[in-house]
Amino acid sequence: MLELRPSCEACSKPLPPNAPDAMICTYECTFCEVCALTRLRNVCPNCGGNFQSRPIRPRAQLAKHPASTTPHEGVDDSSHASFFERYRSTPPGER
């Protein structure tokens, strides 16, 4: 089950469970669409993977399975730079 982290790890934009612009990597590193696709250029700074849109969780399910309230904010720019160097021209399926 997804944690549904509460905000963008790069710019702190709130990303509630129904945010249409939340994106995640395979480890659920969570970014807004602008940061994921422009600042990070679809390379996760923590694992080198790509991003996909995070599915919304229907409101009726949130009572039983609430979204995380723990932010994971902060981007390690040197880690991103080395993953970006390694994967910049490699499609996600071949990383």
Which stretches does DSSP call E strand in the chain?
A: 22-24, 30-32, 52-53
Number of residues that bind Zn ion (CB under 5 A): 12
CB of 23 to Zn ion, least distance (A): 9
Residue 71 half-sphere exposure toward CB, CA atoms < 13 A: 14
CB of 64 to Zn ion, least distance (A): 27
Contact status: 53 vs Zn ion (CB under 5 A): no
Q: Rule CB under 5 A: which residues touch Zn ion?
A: 8, 10-11, 13, 25, 27, 29, 32, 35, 44, 46-47
